[in-house]
Amino acid sequence: MPGGTAAPVSGNVFKTGLFPRRYLWAFILVTSLFFLWGFAYGLLDVLNKHFQNTLKISTSQTTGLQAAYFGIGYFAFSPVAGEVLRRRGYKFTIIMGLCLYSLGAILFWPVAKSASTSPNKNAVFGGFVACTAVIACGLSSLEVSANSYVSVMPPVEIASLRLQFSQAFNGVASFTGPLIASKYFFSDPNSTDLTSVQWVYLAVSGMGMIVAIAFFFTKLPEVSEAELMALIEGDDDDQKPKSIWKETRCLTGALAQFMYVGAQVTIGAFFLYYTHDSAGISDARGAQLLSYALILFTVGRFVVTGLLSIFTAPAVLFTFGIICTVVAILIATLHGMGGVACLMMIMFFESCMYPCIFSLATRGLGRNTRRGASIVVMGVSGGAVFPPMQAAIKHASSTRTSFFIVVPCFLYISCWAAYTWVLDGRQTFALKAKPVEDAADVESIRDIKDDMKADVDVKVDVTAPHKL
């Protein structure tokens, strides 16, 4: 049935394998996409402060980058990407996303060049906002397709663990952005001009095109909607498909993603403001601390990958959500380096949230999986809503007090994790579930192998564990 759960895999998944061998190269290529958008996001956090320094614009104006990135790119374009994915498949959608990503990055060049000659700094900043929106349209296409592809790879039962592992490389890229910024954006003589920005984004555009060419010449194994339906809904062809708008788990999961990304973006976007206002730390040093915090974020994703081989995703998400709630309160109340330490620590504990929410929200959707993925990615638009709200609180009170805005976000995520824990049978320990060969889904897998032999190139061994 739609919204149901698949039987978990028993045994050590690192020994039995994360996916069948034929998906190895596809998995490597798709995982590289997580690195690309992690790098772009890591730069976004520090561009706010750099544009304020060089273009002399207000804090509220700088949040226009987040509004374009998450509002236009994710909220407005994700449904378009989801429809393209449904009609044209994963490979086409990924290449489309990479082309938009590279186009937006290369457009940074003429805009940065005009900054030194144009007297209208607001118009220059508007150009950067437009370029960011184009990049974000590309990244939303990549997120809809890549997150979904990694989640629906067989075996689907360990989707949370596999997506957590891929997303860890997103974290690796995220901390390189602030490291580059601390060296090239905030150090003399680059602290007062935008020359370095154009060279960095030229390299970003080049990376995007190289990966697009690799995908163009790769035969990417597709997972059809018929397979997804058979795996989740069984072999009842007369069963009426459930509307995506009646999938409560998916819709509430999209709201959880909205809350999470809103919290994550405000923490990153106001990190340098917090270190400067609360602890008197320079922007260059603050960018270094941000990169260290993002290293903790990356380490957290690898740690959670291991935890998910022992505990279920809802159990891990609930625990980390509660910890983040407590740490967020400490950030908003502590002064000096104590608050900065908590600000860095919260990135470790929030690291599990995006992949866990995505895989849990799209689990059991069957033929609605691709549309569901686009709806959950739309939740990323929370990054456009929360920064302006936090900026208003910052102006009315203080940077430190403004961090109270993330507390209800983590509380909702914790409650949603408990909700999915109940839906999934109140299982806490992943490895105590029954083996996959005892699950009813095996009959559906056999049906796929027998009935779709002429249409889908799928070869499944239902008695042996998947091996790399």
Domain boundaries, the chain: 16-224+258-433, 438-468
Instruction: Give, in degrees to the nearest 5, the angle at Cα 212 between 211 and 215.
Output: 90
Rounded CA separation 270/268 (Å): 6
State yes or no: pLDDT of 262 exceeds 50.
Answer: yes
Per-residue pLDDT band for 147 (boundaries 50, 70, 90) equals confident
Buried b (16+ CB within 10 A) or exposed e, 117-133: eeeeeeebbebbbebbb
Residues making up the chain, counted from first to last = 468
Rounded CA separation 139/34 (Å): 9
Cis omega before residue 408 (within 30°)?
no
Instruction: Look at residues 444, 453, 423 and name the one whose alpha carbon lies nearest to residue 462.
Output: 444
pLDDT at 180: 65
pLDDT at 365: 83
State which amino acid sits at residue 218.
T
Instruction: Give the CATH architecture of domain 16-224+258-433.
Output: Up-down Bundle (1.20)
Total-model pTM: 0.73
3-state SS string over 356-411?
Answer: HHHHHHCCCCHHHHHHHHHHHHHHHHHHHHHHHHHHHHHHHCCHHHHHHHHHHHHH
Query: What's 164's DSSP letter?
Result: H
**35-94: pLDDT as tens digits:** 877 776 666 656 655 666 666 766 667 667 777 877 888 888 988 998 898 888 889 999
- For residue 72, CA distances in Å to 9, 49, 69, 204, 361 come to 39, 21, 6, 20, 23
pLDDT at 10: 42
pLDDT at 275: 93
Q: How far does Cα 5 stand from its chain's mean position? A: 23
**360-414: pLDDT as tens digits:** 998 888 778 888 888 998 888 888 888 889 988 998 988 999 999 999 999 999 9
The H or E element containing residue 77 is none
State yes or no: pLDDT of 447 exceeds 90.
Answer: no
- Residue 429, beta-bridge partner list: 311
Would you say 314 and 418 are in contact if contact means Cβ atoms under 8 Å apart? Answer: yes
Q: If you average pLDDT over residues 259-281, what whole number do you get?
A: 90
Rounded CA separation 224/228 (Å): 7
Query: What's 158's DSSP letter?
Result: G
State yes or no: pLDDT of 331 exceeds 70.
Answer: yes
Per-residue pLDDT band for 455 (boundaries 50, 70, 90) equals very low
